[in-house]
A and B are shown apart, each in its own frame.
Chain A
Amino acid sequence: EDQVTQSPEALRLQEGESSSLNCSYTVSGLRGLFWYRQDPGKGPEFLFTLYSAGEEKEKERLKATLTKKESFLHITAPKPEDSATYLCAVRGIEGAGSYQLTFGKGTKLSVIP
């Protein structure tokens, strides 16, 4: 069974204070690791897909990296508008015909001005 654990559950940062969110996973044959952003009361918004260890993706102040056991979402010089819950998900070779994503419970990020 695929599993995703995100830490910390919640993170408060001062504006400009860089940090990282962690996503640890166990999966039978990783076919993709996905990062999402979710604002309160809204659906998750897709950010990145990573497929293999060593891969990195960037978007504005966000950078996602991947190892064989975990992924990090690095946030550089965050702004208040980066406040959201960040979700991590994996796709393995099992589960719902391999279409299924297994989601973590998320990290709620608050950036204080």
Chain B
Amino acid sequence: DVKVTQSSRYLVKRTGEKVFLECVQDMDHENMFWYRQDPGLGLRLIYFSYDVKMKEKGDIPEGYSVSREKKERFSLILESASTNQTSMYLCACHDRGYEQYFGPGTRLTVT
């Protein structure tokens, strides 16, 4: 079974702080994704990475950046957190059939 872990389940940060969300997968998959999920808006893709040091913007990249220094690890960075970035953040990787496997999620609150 694919295992995707995220560094925190719950996180509370203040406006303006720099925030790091980390994701690790154990199946040597090349493609990894970061989503945010909000009520009424569903899952929205922020960034994805198809190889080490390679990244592509998703649908809502503004205010975020990513880092992928090692194949198994994909980090999402909020350079200066704002209250509208309060959300559930989900990391995923995909298998050969392109089905995506998700981590448990990080519920981020920015106050």
- Residues in A lying within 8 Å of B, measured CB to CB: 31-32, 34, 36, 41-46, 49, 87, 89, 91, 96-97, 99-101, 103-106
Contacts and interface: CB of A to CB of B under 8 A. Distances in A.
Contacts of B74: none
Interface of B: 4, 31, 33, 40-43, 45, 48, 50, 56, 58, 90, 92, 94, 97-105, 107
B58 A100 contact: yes
Nearest to B90: A43
A32 B107 CA distance: 29
A56 to B, nearest CB: 17
Contacts of A91: 98
A97 B98 contact: no
Contacts of A36: 102
Contacts of A101: 98, 100
